């Protein structure tokens, strides 16, 4: 479990950029806290609509100065702006939208993920509490048509995050379809994890060395293009 290989990966912004390429125009998208939030830096001018679970569709960029309105924040408690076509609604409607299958893609961070598409993200046992901040993550997993994970490939200390079995409390089982890390792009299929793209300069073998489950190497394996 404690393989301590660690590669210098892409910066977080570049992971976000790579994810943004996977989001088709016309999509309704919810971005979780962390790397996923950075995706919105890459979608300006792209015809996608961001949903904030607080109760807003079509959130704009972060608000600054006179644009800050205490009644207009995103799910991370940051002041945001509205766009033409933005709408507001109550929390019940917001989660009806999420749970009811109206959001095309949710992008979330994760602490651990396995080859079956199970992932853990809501509770870090190191906090030492059975309870935790689950927020809307499980609703997004239950309802979004596609679930992407964007995260660092390993922890800062080089601990594996892509594991054979989760040791952290699961957020959802079998829901993740794509995994984007600083080192690789991995598709999760019924047969297991398929390595589709690696960071320039690394090999499939390098990726396997920091990945728990045995990877299936895509026939058309390529470099992550940014």
Best CA proximity match to 136, nearest among 30, 23, 16, 20: 30
Using CA atoms, how far apart are residues 50 and 56, in angstroms rounded to an integer? 8
> Residue 214 Cβ, how far from other proteins at the closest point, in Å?
23
Nearest CB to other proteins, comparing residues 4 and 89: 89
Binding mask 90-119 for other proteins (x = CB under 8 A): xxxxxxxxxxxxxx--------------x-
Q: Which residue from 125, 132, 165, 214 is in contact with other proteins, where contact means CB under 8 A? A: 132
Establish whether 53 is a catalytic residue: yes
Q: What angle do CA 40, 43, 48 make, to 5 degrees?
A: 100
User: Do residues 83 and 127 lie in contact, with contact meaning Cβ atoms separated by under 8 Å?
Assistant: no
Q: Which of 53, 64, 152, 159 is catalytic?
A: 53
The length of the chain is 226
Nearest CB to other proteins, comparing residues 9 and 117: 117
Q: Which residue from 37, 39, 53, 213 is in contact with other proteins, where contact means CB under 8 A? A: 53
Q: Which residue from 32, 136, 212, 213 is in contact with other proteins, where contact means CB under 8 A? A: 136
Q: Which residue from 4, 21, 41, 69 is in contact with other proteins, where contact means CB under 8 A? A: 69
Helix/strand number for the chain, H first, E second: 5, 12
> Residue 103 Cβ, how far from other proteins at the closest point, in Å?
8
Using CA atoms, how far apart are residues 122 and 143, in angstroms rounded to an integer? 17
> Residue 148 Cβ, how far from other proteins at the closest point, in Å?
18
> Residue 173 Cβ, how far from other proteins at the closest point, in Å?
3
Nearest CB to other proteins, comparing residues 37 and 137: 137
Best CA proximity match to 168, nearest among 215, 207, 206, 134: 134
User: Do residues 48 and 40 lie in contact, with contact meaning Cβ atoms separated by under 8 Å?
Assistant: no
Binding mask 33-52 for other proteins (x = CB under 8 A): --------------x-x-xx
Those residues whose C-beta lies under 8 Å from the C-beta of residue 130, and which sit 6 or more positions away, are none
User: Do residues 45 and 88 lie in contact, with contact meaning Cβ atoms separated by under 8 Å?
Assistant: no
Residues near other proteins, by CB under 8 A: 26, 28, 47, 49, 51-57, 68-75, 77-79, 82, 84-103, 118, 122, 124, 126-139, 141-143, 169-174
Annotated catalytic sites, by residue? Answer: 53
């Amino acid at each position: 479990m404690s393989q301590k290989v660690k590669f210098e990966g892409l910066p977080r912004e570049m992971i976000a950029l790579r994810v943004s390429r996977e989001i088709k125009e016309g999509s309704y998208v919810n971005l979780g806290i962390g790397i996923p939030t950075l995706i919105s830096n890459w979608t300006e001018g792209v015809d996608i609509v961001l949903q904030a679970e607080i109760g807003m569709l079509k959130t704009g960029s972060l608000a600054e100065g006179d644009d800050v309105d205490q009644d207009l924040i995103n799910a991370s408690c940051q002041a945001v702006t509205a766009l033409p076509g933005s709408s507001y609604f109550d929390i019940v409607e917001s989660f009806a939208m999420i749970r009811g299958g109206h959001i095309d893609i949710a992008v979330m961070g994760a602490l651990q993920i396995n080859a079956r598409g199970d992932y853990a993200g809501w509770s870090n046992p190191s906090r030492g509490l059975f309870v935790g901040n689950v927020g809307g993550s499980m609703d997004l997993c239950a309802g979004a048509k596609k679930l992407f994970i964007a995260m660092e490939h390993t922890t800062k200390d080089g601990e594996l995050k892509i594991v054979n079995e989760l040791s952290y409390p699961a957020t959802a089982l079998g829901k993740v379809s794509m995994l984007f890390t600083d080192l690789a792009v991995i598709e999760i299929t019924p047969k297991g994890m398929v390595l589709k793209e690696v960071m320039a300069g690394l090999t499939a073998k390098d990726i396997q060395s920091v990945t728990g489950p045995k990877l299936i190497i895509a026939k058309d394996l390529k470099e992550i293009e940014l």
